[in-house]
Structure 1
Amino acid sequence: TTSPSTPHPMCYDWGESSSGAVSVLEGEVGWLFCHLFSHPSVYNYTSAQSTGHNLFWYRLLDGHEVEQPITYRNKSSCSKIAMRLKVLKQDQVVPFTGCEPHSLVAVATTQEFIPFQEGKKLNCPDLKDITTMSETTPTVSWFHKALETSRDNSLMFYNMKEPFQGLYFCVIRYQRRGQVLNFTQSINVSAIYPLMVSKVPSILQPTKDKVFSVRTDSEVSLVCRGLLSFVLGNSASSIWWTVDGKTVEQLANNRFSQKNSVVNNDYGDRTEESVLLIQDFQAEDLNRELNCSVRNSLGFMTRRAQLEKEVSLPSVELGCGLGVILVLMLLLFVVYHVFWLELLLIYRSWFGTDERHTDDKEYDVYISYARNSEEEQFVLSTLRSVLENELGYSVCIFDRDSLPGGTITDETLSFVARSRRLLVVISPGYGSQGSQALLELKAGIDGMALGGHLRVILIQYKPVQRQRWVRELRRARVALATVQWQGNKSKDLTSQFWKRLRVELPVRRVSYSVPLCRSTAEHLYLQS
C-alpha cells in the first residue's frame, strides 16, 4: 500500500506471511487475500483507502529480484508483505477415491466434530465467495468413500453414527468469463461422545489413597493419568505437574523433568499420562508439595502425590541369608528323605508313650502264621528270637504258650485279645478256609474295628499272588501297614525291615546299643 507524497519513500517490508501460503491445483480456482489486513489494529483497509493509500498486487517470479509494476512516484509511505502461491500438478497431491475426475485436493482439509446421536449441517467451504464471482449459480457435489452422497449446497447429518466418520469432499462447479471452473475442498468428519456426557476433566491416577514408595539417591517416577474430554469450540486441554506451586519449567531444576504422552483417544476424549522424573531423590524431597493437575475449558482438578520412604534391605546380606536358608532346607530334605525312619525312631524314643502304662494287655505281640510251612521256621528262629531277645518284647505264640487240653478257638481269641499287636506273616498257604491262621486274622481285624487297642501288622515273607488272598486279607491289605522281608538284606538289625517293624510296634525303651546305620559310629539309646 502506498500514499501520494514525496518521491522514492522507504517501503516497510513485513517479509513472507507464515499463514498466507496458498496451494492451488493446476486447472482449478484459487485466490489470495492480502495479509496486511489480517491485523485490523495495525492496518485497516477502509482507513487505508481514506488516507489515499492504494493496494497493488505484483508477482515476483522465482529467480527474479526486480519487483514490478510498483512505482514510488509521488508516494510518501509504503508497506509490503509476501504471500506464497503454489500451483500443484496432478501427481503432486494425493487423490481421494472418488468417481469424479476432480478428486484431487490441494487445499488443507478442515475438521468437523459431530456428537453421537446428534445432527449437524456441513457447508462446502468458500462457497459464498465463489458465488459472488460466478456468472451462474454454482453446483455442489459431495463424495464419501467413492460414492456421491448429495448434490445440495450443504450436507445434513440427522443422527451421527460411527460409520459416518471419514473424509468428505465437495466439488464446486461454476462459470466465469465463459469458462467452467472447479474448486474441490475436503472435510474430515469425526464423531465425539454426546454433549450430555460430563466433559469436566478428571484424574484417574493416582487415586486418593495411592502412596508412592520412593528410595533416596535413586531415580523416582511419579505417574499421573487424566481424562481430558473433548469440548466443542474449545479443544484446549492440558495435564501437568507442579513442584511447590511451580511448573517444571518455572522450577528450573535439572533434577526434575516431565514427559507427557497420549495413552488413548476415544472419540475425542483423550487419556493422557504425565510422568514426573526426579533424579537423585533426596530426603528433603519428601516434604515437597507435588501436585498433578488437569484442565480444559469446563473445569480444573488437582491431586497431591503422597510419598513414603521405602525401607531398603541390604541386598547382599539378604541374598546370602536366603541362600543359606535354601541350602539348609535342601539339606534337611535330603536328610529326612534318607534317614526318615531313624529320625522317627529317635522321636518316638524321646516323646513316645509306653503302652504298658495305659492298658492291661499281657503280651506285646501275637504272631499269626501258617503252620507246618517254611514260614514257621522263620517265625520261630528269626522273628520270635529278635523280638524277645534283642528288642525286649513279650511275644505270644499259640503252639508254645497254650495249655494242653484247652479249646483252640477260645484260647486263640483270648490270646489275640490280650495282645497289643497282631503280626500276620503272609505266605502262599496263609488264610486257608478253616485254618487257625484265618481265625487269628479275623479276631485281629474285629479287635481293631471295636477299638480294643489292637493293631494288625502284615509281614510279607514271600510274594503272594493276589488272587490267592482270602477276602479278609485283601480288605486288610488296603488299610494296614505292610513290612516286606527281603531275605539276607533284612537279617541285620540295622536293615530297613527291622527299623520299619519297630516303628509299628509298641514303644519300648531298652539300654542296649544298636547303630542306626552301618556308617554310624555312635551308639544311641533307642526305642524298639
Structure 2
Amino acid sequence: MASIIAPLLFLFIVVGRATPAVSQSSQPPETTCFDWGESSQGAVSVVEGDAVWLSCLLFSHPSVYNYSSTQSTGHNLFWYRIPEGHDLEHPITYSPRLSKDRERLWLQPAASADTGLYICMLRNKSSCSKIAMRLTVLQRGEVTRGNACGLPVAGETIQAPIGLQQGEVLHCPGLQEAAKMADSEPTVSWYHETPESSRCHKYPFWNTDRQQRGAALRFHLMLVPYRGLYYCTVHYQRKGKTLNFTRSINVTAVYPTNVSKDPVILHPAKDQVFTVKQDTEVRLVCRGLFPYLKSSWDIWWTVDGKTLEKLPDHQRFSRINSQVNYDYGDRTEESILVIKDFQSEDLNREFNCSVRNERGFKTCRAQLKEEVSLPFVELGCGLGVTLVLMLLLFVVYHVFWLELLLLYRSWFGTDERHTDDKEYDVYISYARNSEEEQFVLSTLRGVLENELGYSVCIFDRDSLPGGTITDETLSFVARSRRVLVVVSPGYASQGSQALLELKAGIDGMARGGHLRVILVQYKPVQRQVWVGELRRARVALAMVRWQGEKSKELTSRFWKRLRVELPVRRVSIRGEEGSSKEAVLMRLISQNSTNSQTGLITNTVKEPQKVLNSAA
C-alpha cells in the first residue's frame, strides 16, 4: 500500500495545483472520475504547421500507471478537448491529422484552431482518472523574431553542458517519437547560432571537431567557441506528407570531469577571525566553490550543531544565499548568516558553515572576537592634524623644492675639490657665434665666476696660442668637473668644435669619472634638427632652460636649477671683523640660504674682507 501512496503524492507535485476546469458531462452517471486538474508542467507550445504530440501525464510515473498493465486490466485511454473560449469538453475524433499512439496524441501538423485544453482519461467500468494539459499553437512570426537562424522553435530549450577537451553526442529531442510515426527514416538538419556574433551556421561547421553522424551531432573535442544554441529540424514522411518540427539545445562549456569535484570553502579562511560588536546586527559571510556536477549541492549555516530553523531563538537568525560567480559550470555560492541584536553570550556559541555535493562535505567554524571601542574623537583629531601637516609639507616641498634641495646640499653636500684633482669647476661649450658668445661671456661666466665663485674654463679665452685644438679641448674637458653645453639652433653641427666638446663630456661620464654634462637651452631647438649625440644626451641629462628676462635675476629659477647641477661650495671665515661686517656676512649667508645655495657663496673663501666688500 505504501508503494502506491508515495507515487500518488509525487503525481500531485507533478501536476501542480488542481483546477476544476474540466467538466464530467461525458462520463457515465454511475462512474465517479477522479480529476487531477490541469497540469502546468504538461503545457505544450508548437508552431503552426509543425508536428506535435501530447503525452498523457497519468503515465508520467510508471509505478502509478503503466500503459501496458492498464490495458491488460481493462482500462481504456480516451482523449477529450475543450477549445479555446469554450467550457464543455468534446471527444476527439481521430483522423490522419489527429491520431493516437499508445499514451500520446499526435497532431500532424498542428493548426491554429487546435489551441485549447486537452484531457486524457483512463477508465474502466469501476474507476476513472483524468488530467488536463494545455496546447498553444503559435504563429511563425511570433517565434522567429530575434532568432538568427530564422527557425520556428516554440518548445523549451534543452540544456546540454559539455566538458572542455571532451567529447559528447547530441541527439535531437523527439526524434525517436517521430521515427515511430514516420513511414521512412527521418532526417535531421543541424544549425549553430554563435553567442558572440549572433550568426547562424548550418552544418557542416567547417571543422573536424563537430561532425554529424546519422541524425546525431558528435562533438569529438569541445572548445569554448563551440558554445551557443544548436537547432535540429526533424523531417519525416507520413502518408505522403512531409512533416517536421524544430528543437533547440543550449550547449555550454564546463570544466572536464577528470578534475577534482570536491566542494571547497573559500571564506572564511583558516584561522580567520570575525570582529563583532554587541547590540548590533552581525553578518558572517561563508563562500563556497562547487565544481560542476550533474547533481545537487548545498551551503548552509549551523549554530551549536543545529540548523537555524531548529534554534530556540531562531527569530534572531536568518541567512541570505546568492551566487557570486559562475565559471564554466563551477559556481561560487555565498551564504550570509545575519544575527540580529548580537549579545555577549553569542561569543561562546559555535557557528559553522558547511558545503556539500555528491562528492564530498566540508565544514568550517567561524571564530568571533569582540570589537574594542576606540577613541574616535582623539584619533580623528590626530589624523586631521597629521593630514594638515602632510598637506602643508607637500605644498611647501612642491613650491620650494629647489630651495630645500640647495639648502640640504649646503649642509650635507661634499665639496668635490677635496675628493678629486680637477682644475676647473665648469667647462662651457657653445656655438661660436656672436649672440651665444655674448651670452656665455657676459652672463654665464660673469655670474659663475663673480657671483658664485666657480672656476670657469672657456676654450677661446683660456687656451694658449699654437696648441692643437683637439688635444687642448680634450685636456680642458678632462680637467673639469662639469661640462655646461649651451644648446641653441646653431649648436653642434657635424664636425664643429662644440660637437667635439659634447662627445668628450659624454665619454667622460660613460667612463664613470666625476665629470657630468649639463644642458642649458639658450633658445628653443626643434628636436628633428638635433645631432645624434645631442638627442641621445637629452634622454639621460638634465635640461635647464634660459627664459630671457625672467632668468636674469640671481634668485630666478634658472640659477637655482643650475646650482643644483653644479658642485657644492662651502664658506669658511676665520676671525671676526667687527659686528657690522659680521652682520653683512650673516645677511649674505641668509640670502643665499633662502635662495637654496648657502654652500655656493664663493670658492673656499680665504679672504673674508674681500667677500664682505663684494656683498656690500
Fold-level similarity (TM above 0.5): yes
The answer (yes or no) to whether the contact 1:8–1:73 under 8 Å persists in 2 is: no
Amino acid across the alignment from 1:170: C
Equivalence for 2:370? 309
Identity score, percent: 57
Candidates 278, 283, 286, aligned match of 2:344: 283
Candidates 152, 157, 161, aligned match of 1:113: 161
Inter-CA distance 69–241: structure 2 relative to 1 (3 Å threshold): same
The answer (yes or no) to whether the contact 1:255–1:280 under 8 Å persists in 2 is: yes
**Pairwise CA distance, 1:64:** 2.1
Equivalence for 2:49? 27
Amino acid across the alignment from 1:236: S
Counterpart Cα distance in 2 of 1:239 and 1:247: 12
Amino acid across the alignment from 1:480: V
Equivalence for 2:140? 90
Amino acid across the alignment from 1:153: A
Equivalence for 2:219? 157
Amino acid across the alignment from 2:247: Q
Pairing 1:248–2:308 present? yes
The answer (yes or no) to whether the contact 1:7–1:76 under 8 Å persists in 2 is: no
**Pairwise CA distance, 1:224:** 1.5
1:443-486, CA deviations, whole angstroms, 9 ceiling, x for partnerless residues?
A: xxxxxxxxxxxxxxxxxxxx9xxxxxxxxxxx99822379xxxx
Equivalence for 1:471? none
Equivalence for 2:15? none
Equivalence for 1:479? 570
Inter-CA distance 200–330: structure 2 relative to 1 (3 Å threshold): closer
Secondary structure, aligned partner of 2:141 = helix
**Pairwise CA distance, 1:42:** 2.7
Deviates more, 1:303-312 or 1:65-74: 65-74
**Unmatched segments (≥5 aa) in structure 1:** 332-426, 431-462, 464-474, 483-487, 501-528
**Pairwise CA distance, 1:52:** 2.0
Candidates 75, 97, 104, aligned match of 1:53: 75
For residues 330-369 of structure 1, the aligned pairs below 5 Å read none
TM-score by length of 1: 0.59
For residues 165-176 of structure 1, the aligned pairs below 5 Å read 165-176=227-238
The answer (yes or no) to whether the contact 1:7–1:73 under 8 Å persists in 2 is: no
Candidates 277, 280, 293, aligned match of 2:354: 293
For residues 360-379 of structure 1, the aligned pairs below 5 Å read none
Pairing 1:64–2:86 present? yes
The answer (yes or no) to whether the contact 1:9–1:72 under 8 Å persists in 2 is: no
1:90-120, CA deviations, whole angstroms, 9 ceiling, x for partnerless residues?
A: 122245322xx6x111111111121111111
For residues 492-511 of structure 1, the aligned pairs below 5 Å read none
Inter-CA distance 75–283: structure 2 relative to 1 (3 Å threshold): same
The answer (yes or no) to whether the contact 1:168–1:187 under 8 Å persists in 2 is: yes
1:402-461, CA deviations, whole angstroms, 9 ceiling, x for partnerless residues?
A: xxxxxxxxxxxxxxxxxxxxxxxxx99x9xxxxxxxxxxxxxxxxxxxxxxxxxxxxxxx
Amino acid across the alignment from 1:287: N
Secondary structure, aligned partner of 1:32 = strand
Equivalence for 1:435? none
Counterpart Cα distance in 2 of 1:297 and 1:72: 39
Amino acid across the alignment from 1:30: V
**Pairwise CA distance, 1:12:** 1.1
Inter-CA distance 143–498: structure 2 relative to 1 (3 Å threshold): closer
**Pairwise CA distance, 1:241:** 1.5
Inter-CA distance 72–496: structure 2 relative to 1 (3 Å threshold): closer
Counterpart Cα distance in 2 of 1:171 and 1:72: 33
The answer (yes or no) to whether the contact 2:123–2:129 under 8 Å persists in 1 is: no
The answer (yes or no) to whether the contact 2:75–2:123 under 8 Å persists in 1 is: no
Deviates more, 1:248-257 or 1:284-293: 248-257
Inter-CA distance 275–491: structure 2 relative to 1 (3 Å threshold): farther
Counterpart Cα distance in 2 of 1:303 and 1:162: 35
**Pairwise CA distance, 1:314:** 3.6
Inter-CA distance 214–93: structure 2 relative to 1 (3 Å threshold): same
**Pairwise CA distance, 1:309:** 1.1
**Pairwise CA distance, 1:257:** 1.9
Counterpart Cα distance in 2 of 1:318 and 1:73: 84
Candidates 311, 320, 325, aligned match of 1:264: 325
Inter-CA distance 222–164: structure 2 relative to 1 (3 Å threshold): same
1:325-382, CA deviations, whole angstroms, 9 ceiling, x for partnerless residues?
A: 9999999xxxxxxxxxxxxxxxxxxxxxxxxxxxxxxxxxxxxxxxxxxxxxxxxxxx
**Pairwise CA distance, 1:121:** 1.3
**Pairwise CA distance, 1:496:** 8.1
Secondary structure, aligned partner of 1:65 = coil
Pick the structure with more helix per residue: 2
The answer (yes or no) to whether the contact 2:77–2:122 under 8 Å persists in 1 is: no
Amino acid across the alignment from 1:212: F
The answer (yes or no) to whether the contact 1:6–1:75 under 8 Å persists in 2 is: no
Pairing 1:148–2:185 present? no
**Unmatched segments (≥5 aa) in structure 2:** 1-23, 93-120, 194-199, 205-211, 393-449, 454-553, 555-565, 574-578, 591-616
The answer (yes or no) to whether the contact 1:21–1:83 under 8 Å persists in 2 is: yes
Counterpart Cα distance in 2 of 1:189 and 1:73: 42
Counterpart Cα distance in 1 of 2:292 and 2:122: 53
Inter-CA distance 302–97: structure 2 relative to 1 (3 Å threshold): same
Candidates 207, 221, 238, aligned match of 2:298: 238
Equivalence for 1:125? 173
**Pairwise CA distance, 1:288:** 1.2
1:27-58, CA deviations, whole angstroms, 9 ceiling, x for partnerless residues?
A: 00100111111123333323322332211101
Pairing 1:41–2:63 present? yes
**Pairwise CA distance, 1:72:** 12
Secondary structure, aligned partner of 2:69 = helix
The answer (yes or no) to whether the contact 1:139–1:173 under 8 Å persists in 2 is: yes
**Pairwise CA distance, 1:81:** 0.6
Candidates 78, 93, 105, aligned match of 2:128: 78
Counterpart Cα distance in 2 of 1:246 and 1:313: 35
Secondary structure, aligned partner of 2:185 = coil
Kindly tell me the number of residue pairs found equivalent between the two proteins: 353
Amino acid across the alignment from 1:242: T
The answer (yes or no) to whether the contact 1:6–1:73 under 8 Å persists in 2 is: no
Equivalence for 1:226? 288
Counterpart Cα distance in 2 of 1:250 and 1:80: 41
The answer (yes or no) to whether the contact 1:204–1:227 under 8 Å persists in 2 is: yes
Amino acid across the alignment from 1:24: V
Counterpart Cα distance in 2 of 1:477 and 1:161: 69
The answer (yes or no) to whether the contact 2:77–2:123 under 8 Å persists in 1 is: no
TM-score by length of 2: 0.51
